[in-house]
Amino acid sequence: MMFRSALAGSAVAALLATSGQAQAQSQAPARSHAPGSAHTPGSAHAPGDAQSADEAQVRAVVTAYKDAIERMDVSQTPALFWTDSEIFENGGVEGSFAYYLEHHLGPEFADLAGFDFRNHEMKVEVDGDTAFVSETYTFHITFKYGARAPIERRGAATSVLRKRGDEWRFDVYHSSARPFRPAA
């Protein structure tokens, strides 16, 4: 576990080191990923090959998790995480996804009336059987019974997904959030 945590830290550092390059590339006009289309800047492989299929599968896993959170129905989410996965949130070590689900997500969702992601952006880099994902977003939470005021935060997530056999799942997931800062 400790090795994987160190590996995840290295992966996140590498991902952050390339974020400036990725941000510059994100300013370029979007291009189609259809077979025979132009190659997207920053992509290591041409569209239509195994790399593109793997990237699409990784995006599908990450999107399925985001969608489950928005629906506040996490009953199918354990299938998105390897049983030996590690979860980190807001500076804390949450443990495996099973533990995180039982002691964190499940109890929190009992008090929520709604959870909406907004301005969601995702960057994916696939390297063999490992994928590095960074996400930025805002989220809006409302509570049942009006007992608490709604919460709106900026959030970021980094994750490492591993392919075992033909299946991609989360291996390491880290998320953090902070309140909006007033405009300067």
Domains defined along the chain, listed by start = 2-23+48-179 (3.10.450.50)
pLDDT of res. 49: 66
Predicted local confidence at residue 22, as pLDDT: 38
Q: Is residue 62 within 8 Å of residue 174, measured between CB atoms?
A: no
pLDDT at res. 50: 67
Q: Using the structure block, give the residue that is written with the tokens 């301005």.
A: 119
Q: What is the pLDDT of residue 3?
A: 38
CA–CA distance, 22 with 8 (Å, rounded to integer):
19
- Biggest alpha carbon–alpha carbon distance for the chain: 54
HEC secondary structure over 100-166: HHHHHHHHHHCCEEEEEEEEEEEEEEEECCEEEEEEEEEEEEEEHHHCCCCEEEEEEEEEEEEEECC
Q: Which amino acid is at 27?
A: Q
**Regions of the chain short of the pLDDT cut 50:** 1-45, 47
Q: Is the pTM of this model over 0.85?
A: no
Q: Which amino acid is at 7?
A: L
